[in-house]
Structure 1
Amino acid sequence: MLTPVTAGVDGSAESFAAAEWAAREAVRRERPLLLLHARNWHPHRADGGPADAAQRQLARQYLRRAEERVRRACPAAVLCDEQVEGPASVALLNAADRADLLVLGSRGLSGFTGFLVGSVALAVVAKAACPVVLVRAGEEAADEHLPAEAGDAEVGSVSGRTRQRDVVLGLDARDPSDEVIEFAFEAARLRGARLRILYAWQEPSAFELGPGDVALADKPQQAREWRGFLTAVLQAWRDKYPEVEVVECVPQDKASTALIGAASAAGLLVVGHRLAERPVGPRTGPVTHAVIHHVGCPVAVVPHT
């Protein structure tokens, strides 16, 4: 049996948007969609009491509403639903162990203060075994496409035709992850979208320089060196996915700043997250933390070792 694309549903507008996005992705991947609700967990409550019955009924309402929205927005999706007992982060992490992809909602605040990503979503992103996609409320299928006139101007297509917005991959060329690169190429292939791969570099301090370091060159030369290095890293993936148009970008900038800017016109941003046990508990790296709080398009966080 194929592992599902799983969407967490909690009755919020963000979770309903996540469910619709997950349905479209499930159809693209030819996988079933699982709508999952984690009920409140009370260790000292007797099973079968009135509170438990009320929670089950509320969960059923949330799942029914999500199902209705999915069937209207994406009738081709093959879906099922499930209720499980929390805590929510534990339930979602367990679901991630048997999912192809986990999709969660994140709440928007404003373009200046960023987006509110709750403690449950952060805990899941930090420890999930499968890729996790965070989706804002209001995300719609139309948001995945460029306006017709923009697409026409860029690719010379027939008037009225739209094209998919870019998939943007934030890549550390010094430590590339096959899992992250493959996810981004596959996402672009499934969408028929262009893949924009970005490696942002900064000049190291004098203490970080070693023999033959590219930092010994002037800035234009450094940019050419990094672009050549990135091209070499990606060559095997270009060969594997010849149908995917790839654009390589090597700006001199902070990685988080460059990615937030590049994602402003993207349909999906892909970043990696190294799974590791940290003494202070589960955390995401600074770049991943920044983009999931400030990028408006869906963000896929792909775990790797």
Structure 2
Amino acid sequence: MEQVILASIDPSAPSRTAADWAAHEARLRGLPLRVVHGPPQEVSEAKMVVCGLRPEDVADSQTAGSPLSADVEAAARPFVFVPDDLSGPRRSEGVTLGVDARDPAAAAIDFAFDSARIRGSRLHVVHAWSLPACTAELPFAIPEADRAAWEDQEVQQLADTLRPWREKHPEVPVLEDVVLFTPAQALLHCSAGAALVVVGRRPGAEWRYMIRSLLRKATCPVAVVPS
């Protein structure tokens, strides 16, 4: 069964922007583009589903038709949410991937490497980390040596996580970035000027909060990839 890029549109400006982005993605991947009006009902043939992103979509994750509705959370295909305003800073073809190096989402990593490969671009991999919980109880500032040691562990963990994909895709240049931010802050900071942000979909309220925060301020398309 031939795969397609599926664009879900309505008369709104975000949908027109999403349709244009989907058409460009279809050309990059050499796949047909299928445009449907309204929520997609059948995505079994879709390589990905592309939708416009409106502020009200992010306001309530339980609203029918919102990016975080139950249908999307259960989908077996990546959903790409395209903001209406893509006219910000000049964008490269670079791809930014958010990854938890201690619990990586393999499907999202596959998707990100493939997206960078077809663009002939760099993949910027961002791993957000936080200080150990015990540091909140310390009566003094964290010694710089301790912080550096913890960060070195995170850097090594990310390198170990990505090694199989870097060996599989030696043609994709990779920038590994370990940052002391929340995941949403890290991705927003590191994706300025990117063509695409990729995140893995996970269950739970913490992930919903992170993706809402990211989509609320996103200035480039965001791909949510099921695990």
Q: TM-score range by the shorter chain?
A: 0.7 to 0.9
Aligned residues, how many?
217
For residues 196 and 22 of structure 2, the distance between their equivalents in structure 1, rounded to whole angstroms, comes to 13
- Structure 2, unpaired ranges of 5+: 136-144
Q: Deviation per CA, 1:119-158: give whole Å up to 9, x if none.
A: 3132143222100000112437xx7964xxxxxxxxxxxx
2:163 aligned to which of 210, 225, 235: 235
CA contact (8 A) 1:126 1:284 kept: no
Matched, 1:32 2:47: no
Q: Which residue of 2 aligns with 1:100?
A: 47
CA contact (8 A) 2:9 2:35 kept: yes
Matched, 1:287 2:210: yes
CA contact (8 A) 1:167 1:184 kept: yes
> What is the deviation of 1:195?
0.5
- TM-score, normalization by structure 1: 0.64
- Structure 1, unpaired ranges of 5+: 39-87, 147-163, 208-216
Question: 1:79-98 maps to which residues of 2 (within 5 A)?
Answer: 88=39, 92=40, 94-98=41-45
Matched, 1:182 2:110: yes
Question: 1:81-160 maps to which residues of 2 (within 5 A)?
Answer: 88=39, 92=40, 94-107=41-54, 119=63, 120-122=65-67, 123=69, 124-139=71-86, 146=91
SS of alignment partner, residue 125 of structure 2 = strand
Aligned letter for 1:288? I
> What is the deviation of 1:97?
3.1
Aligned letter for 2:185? T
Question: 1:1-305 maps to which residues of 2 (within 5 A)?
Answer: 1-38=1-38, 88=39, 92=40, 94-107=41-54, 119=63, 120-122=65-67, 123=69, 124-139=71-86, 146=91, 164-206=92-134, 218-274=146-202, 285-304=208-227
Give 1 or 2 for the bigger CA radius of gyration.
1
CA contact (8 A) 1:106 1:116 kept: no
Q: Give % identity.
A: 36
Q: Deviation per CA, 1:133-189: give whole Å up to 9, x if none.
A: 00112437xx7964xxxxxxxxxxxxxxxxx34211000111011101000000001
Aligned letter for 1:137? D
Aligned letter for 1:295? A
- TM-score, normalization by structure 2: 0.85
For residues 20 and 35 of structure 2, the distance between their equivalents in structure 1, rounded to whole angstroms, comes to 10
Higher RCO, 1 vs 2 (CA within 8 Å, ≥6 residues apart): 2
For residues 285 and 172 of structure 1, the distance between their equivalents in structure 2, rounded to whole angstroms, comes to 15
For residues 128 and 250 of structure 1, the distance between their equivalents in structure 2, rounded to whole angstroms, comes to 30
The CA RMSD over aligned residues, in Å, is: 2.9
For residues 138 and 265 of structure 1, the distance between their equivalents in structure 2, rounded to whole angstroms, comes to 13
SS of alignment partner, residue 15 of structure 1 = helix
Q: In structure 2, do the counterparts of structure 1 residues 182 and 224 end up closer, same or farther at CA, with 3 Å as the change threshold? A: same
> What is the deviation of 1:24?
0.7
SS of alignment partner, residue 7 of structure 1 = strand
Q: In structure 2, do the counterparts of structure 1 residues 196 and 23 end up closer, same or farther at CA, with 3 Å as the change threshold? A: same
> What is the deviation of 1:229?
1.1
For residues 4 and 107 of structure 1, the distance between their equivalents in structure 2, rounded to whole angstroms, comes to 24
CA contact (8 A) 1:125 1:284 kept: no
